[in-house]
Every structure is written in C-alpha cells, then in structure tokens.
Structure 1
C-alpha cells in the first residue's frame, strides 16, 4: 500500500483534508479507518461524498484495513489514511502494518482530555498510544495544514501532567 499520509484528525474528511492535504500529497484515495464510523451508514455515506473530485473515499474497520494492507488491490494508488484516534494506529502497527510518520491534525477537547495545542487534546490512553508509536520509531508531527511548521508531538507531551 502506497501511503502518502497517515493522519489523526477526528473531523476526518473536511476542508483542510479535501483541499490542502490531497493537493500536497497527490492522493487519489482516502481511506477512513474507524470501527465506529464504519458501522454508521449515514456518516459513512457523508464521508464518501465529502471527498474532492478525482479522489475516491472508503470507510473501513481497523480489521478490514489489516486484511487488505498486503493486497495488490491498492498497489497503484496513492493513499491517505485518516484516523480518529491513535489507539487504532497502534492496533495496525501491532498487526504488522508499516507507517513511518503520522500527522496529528486535530483531536477535539472533551471531559477527561487536556489541551496540548489549540487543536489537539489528549487523555492518558492517547498519551500511552503515542508513546508506543514513538518507541516504534514512528515520527509524530502536529500540523493542521501542509504549510504549518512541523511540531513534534513528543516535545509537547513532555509537558503533559
């Protein structure tokens, strides 16, 4: 699988992804990876319709992506993977998937989370997942759009708690 961008952004396909990131990466397929979203027919339909012209969108479970990761099905395509949380990425890495860099574009604030930037909030489970990914040698960078300066997530997490 030719992964051009792996991004955690709980808004999934939205303006920044549909315009700036697809243009920057040259992807022709976006795969939303979420068990929760894959079970919601309306949300799934809305995300598939939100893809920009010339870009196909799919919504799959974490298990489904693991089962098709080695398949030749997407061999010729440039792929953007979108996740809602880092825990799903951990499952994929533990399942043998190779990802070298993860872009964190947005994790909204809710009860039990702490804001580490104005658009990224984390809880203990998120921090544990990010630390696991970092220990696996995966670069974790925070940027809303491609023109933003890269901020390394682990530097921000040093201040957590």
Structure 2
C-alpha cells in the first residue's frame, strides 16, 4: 500500500528519509527515476540514506510502476519518491492506487518561478500538477511533516509565468 508519493528533485536524502519515516512508518521506499535507476553511484548514496530496516528499490518509471502493482507490496507501507511532476503523473497513470502527493523540494532554475520557499516550478511542472489534481489526487506542499500542509490550489493561483 502506498502511504504517500513525494516529489523531491534530490530524491532520497537524510531529511526525507528520517523525517518522513517517523510520520509515515513506512517499510519500503520506491524511487521512480529513469536516471537514478542506471546510476550506481546515486543508488549507493541513496542506500546509505535509507533508514535501517527499510527496503529500498530504485527503478525506472515503468519498472517502479510494475513493482508497485505487485501484490506483495500490499502488505507493506510504501513511500514513493519521484523527482518531478511529470514522473509522478506517469507513475500514477500506470498504477491503480491514488495516494496523496507531497510536493517537497524542487530547486530553482532559470525556467522556474517560486511556488513556495523550497519549491520552484516551470510551466511544464504546473501542467502535470494540474493533471494530477484532475485525477482527484490530493496535493500538499511542505518539506517535512512537522510543517503545516499548504494546499496546492491557493499556491497554484498565485503562479504567473
């Protein structure tokens, strides 16, 4: 069972692994990222960041979706992490579950505007977040569980490109 999906362009790092572990009590983390699935150095770094006793799977978008549909995962609490809204949308289109989506960290780049203190979005990011919202999925914005949830819609309404 997927307990939450998170967008964080750094994927898995200590802040994500440990702060969300206490909030979600997850048993496994599935990283859905085409690039990281082929990068041994990144996979090793993420393994080091994984809390003790938690299973980690780093897969391509397609392979992550196949794994998430495996009935064995129904008995586990799974935290899914992707790097961008497009990847979240693609995974959600390949699975049946509809977990809430946490938008955590998306770094500032030239084509992005401020969405919240740690989240910068491009027009493409907003298009995919809007599509996810249209799927009936709750979208919240916050870096760590101790922060108050910010709803997607009010932040979305302030975005201008």
Q: TM-score, normalization: structure 1?
A: 0.93
Give the number of aligned pairs. 160
Alpha-carbon distance between aligned partners in 1 of 2:99 and 2:25, rounded to the nearest angstrom: 18
- CA gap of 1:26–1:96, structure 2 versus 1, over 3 A, is closer
Alpha-carbon distance between aligned partners in 2 of 1:86 and 1:73, rounded to the nearest angstrom: 27
Q: Which residue of 2 aligns with 1:11?
A: 10
Alpha-carbon distance between aligned partners in 1 of 2:70 and 2:116, rounded to the nearest angstrom: 37
Query: Mind listing any 5+ residue stretches in structure 2 that lack a counterpart?
Result: none
Alpha-carbon distance between aligned partners in 2 of 1:88 and 1:97, rounded to the nearest angstrom: 16
CA displacement at 1:68 relative to structure 2: 2.4
> Is the contact between residue 66 and residue 97 of structure 1 (CA under 8 Å) also seen in structure 2?
no
Query: Mind listing any 5+ residue stretches in structure 1 that lack a counterpart?
Result: none
Q: Which residue of 2 aligns with 1:72?
A: 71
Alpha-carbon distance between aligned partners in 2 of 1:30 and 1:64, rounded to the nearest angstrom: 14
1:81 matched to 2:80? The reply is yes
Q: TM-score, normalization: structure 2?
A: 0.93
Query: After TM superposition, which residue ranges in structure 1, 4 or more long, deviate above 3 angstroms?
Result: none
- CA gap of 1:50–1:100, structure 2 versus 1, over 3 A, is closer
